[in-house]
Chain A
């Protein structure tokens, strides 16, 4: 498929691909022809909004996914873009303009017809600075007005003031609003619509009677009558409700709950393999940080960081902390990211002996079981992580033990999250941190705020006026090059090089990639959990539930 080279995607080819995916899903799950039923699962917090353009939390994102109609959808299983409300689309060579050809005969849930004006209205709302749309922020590459042009009743083009990297992919998050419906954002184009909301208790979604999609047999989708979303922040209660049959799925499970459930009912749990999420350790390299100069010198040494990386037994982190439901991380991107992961990267080796050799190159020596630097300072530092996160606390203790083997004494400190963030971003009063990155997007552009040396989330040494090291300068250049290129292969080559530099320099010592774990009741038919969010209900329109 070519999205950016000026060719329209052919509808027939995509229809074929879609049909294959559906058939596969059907084979995998033994999808019955039964229709109807109510799907029940939990939201872990109150949805802050029902306006799809203002979504900024998981609960609201789930509701947007289930109710919002989008022009282009990222297939969570194939990780490819697919046409939805747009039959086809084209991105201009310079990456500033995207043109859509819309499907005809579609109406919102309240019967209001869907037109190109609705797309123009949605884009106008999306880019309105007064709305502060988090989704709109992804499109803001430069100051200036976004222009929409209705070419014909079924064609519309949108021109941005500057190139927007991965422009078409961003439309996966843009649910189209109705310009004319009196119901405003409650009129939707997705498979479900909000029917009832009980604050603090539940959100009821009902089938959208005007949903445009049909299955291969010509039956209207979705199959389900309704979805009941219980608002339940307590994971223990969620687990008990699932066990009692009061819920039909748990979208994300931690490894401990997964194993407990698996031991009793293995048919209910699903391990979809490594997700995009990573956990990492990094050292404080900030010049003005209130830490001893000799420690900063250690932390700024690539040899020191490589040695620490080699001394950490990631296999044990995965096996012990995550009960095997995680993989040693190879670099910034997980292998789960099919296109962007650099296949040339090798799994990190665990070798305390090599670690000591690397440290010796910097003048460190082992004396009576204690590692000392050139000046005779014993190597000791603290690792902080957020209190209450069992997995991180356990990883820290395992790393403490691993590093003790090469003579490094580590103090593990757990802090409440606000204190940790204050030390990490304001006072820089810390030595090393274990935290995680939750990646919801496949494209590296979403991580510009991490990899650019000037970025606030360049955590080991943020907001540099000019890159302080040659390798950071090189990463800056490569990230900007990939972001400004329209050629996917050139972008991939540039980001591969970024991944290789990061693995070589170890500014983040990537530890593990967690697996995507979920639980689905046997009453649910058609489920095929994947690693991308929403893992279990990405194909909600084709799910059925029996027996309720």
Chain B
């Protein structure tokens, strides 16, 4: 068990370390076009070959990993915090507050968010740098992705509120705020963690989908989402397995995050 944990930690550390060291590992950068070597197979010069515009895929994977590893968790954190605030409080307070919060949540859930995002993008200025486009993309995802988690947290908080230990604490004269932070929030932690980790791959894949609508990360900056777009055409990928590297990396990183988290919880429990 310990070896497994070390292995998963190593996977995460390698992904984080390599993406952090992208400037040294791939000094030519993610945007340089080797126009005489487009769509090249892996070689000593290009370890994962080149993409359709001749850009080094290894460099793009490293830089894309950096962006996705930084910004998808950031968006997940934002959405989880919003969910905790709205859903957790609604569940804890109950009554009219819960009904109002859940009505707002339902309203957000019923929004055709795809069209909403298209409208938002249409209103945005065009002359924004790729970095700003990355921030805007993940910020939008974070701001709009809290609703499902809020419902789950509302139900969990309501369950905690009606549990015996909370009743006992209330009977012992604990104040509302102390009761919330000391007795309710710690008991919501497993749900919050789960929502956070679940959101990361969802946001990474959402970013890939948004790219098709022009809402993704702007060229030439890479992200896992834009790299995964290469897999759209399954006919070609069968003969070019190295194009699966971003997908394999995504699966490994998300799995390692979740396994390490569960181990930590086991240890804490």
Which residues of A approach B to under 8 Å, CB–CB? 236, 239, 256, 260, 316, 320, 380-382, 384, 387-388, 393-394, 396-398, 400-401, 411-416, 419, 422-423, 429-431
Contact = CB atoms under 8 A, between A and B. Distances in A.
B30 to A, nearest CB: 12
A391 B10 CA distance: 40
A384 B121 CA distance: 12
Given A320-B54, A401-B31, A413-B214, 19 more contacts: A236-B235, A316-B35, A320-B38, A320-B52, A384-B126, A387-B211, A387-B212, A396-B219, A397-B53, A397-B219, A400-B219, A401-B33, A411-B127, A411-B130, A413-B126, A413-B218, A416-B213, A419-B118, A419-B121
B187 interface: no
B213 A387 contact: yes
A414 B214 contact: yes
B236 interface: yes
Nearest to B54: A320
B162 interface: no
B214 A431 contact: no
Given A260-B236, A387-B212, A413-B214, A394 B127 contact: no
Contacts of A239: 235
B174 interface: no
Contact of B121 (A256, A316, A396, A415): A415
A397 B214 contact: no
Interface string B134-148: 000000000000000
Given A260-B235, A320-B53, A387-B214, A415 B35 contact: no
Contacts of B129: 411
Instruction: List the 4 closest A-B pairs by CB distance, nearest first.
Output: A414-B214, A387-B214, A382-B126, A419-B122
A416 B214 contact: yes
A384 B129 CA distance: 14
Interface string B232-269: 01111000000000000000000000000000000000
Contacts of A381: 127
Nearest to A257: B235
Given A316-B35, A320-B54, A398-B33, A415 B233 contact: no
Nearest to B210: A387
B128 interface: yes
Contacts of B127: 380-382, 411, 431
B218 A412 contact: yes
Contacts of B118: 416, 419
Contacts of B190: none
A388 B220 contact: no
Given A260-B236, A415-B214, A393 B219 contact: yes
Interface string B209-237: 00111100011100000000000011110
A250 to B, nearest CB: 14
Contacts of B121: 415-416, 419
B203 to A, nearest CB: 19
A262 to B, nearest CB: 13
A448 to B, nearest CB: 31
A398 B218 contact: no
Interface in B38-81: 38, 52-54
18 contacts: A236-B234, A236-B235, A239-B235, A320-B38, A384-B126, A387-B214, A388-B212, A393-B219, A397-B53, A412-B219, A413-B126, A414-B214, A416-B121, A416-B122, A419-B121, A430-B126, A431-B126, A431-B127
A398 B235 contact: no
Nearest to A404: B31
A411 B128 contact: yes
Contacts of A412: 218-220
B122 A422 contact: yes
A430 B126 CA distance: 7
Contacts of A430: 126
B140 to A, nearest CB: 15
Contacts of B213: 387, 416
A387 B128 CA distance: 17
Contacts of B128: 411
Contacts of A236: 233-235
B34 to A, nearest CB: 11
A394 B122 contact: no
A384 B235 CA distance: 29
Contacts of B234: 236
Contacts of B219: 393, 396-397, 400, 412
A320 B38 CA distance: 7
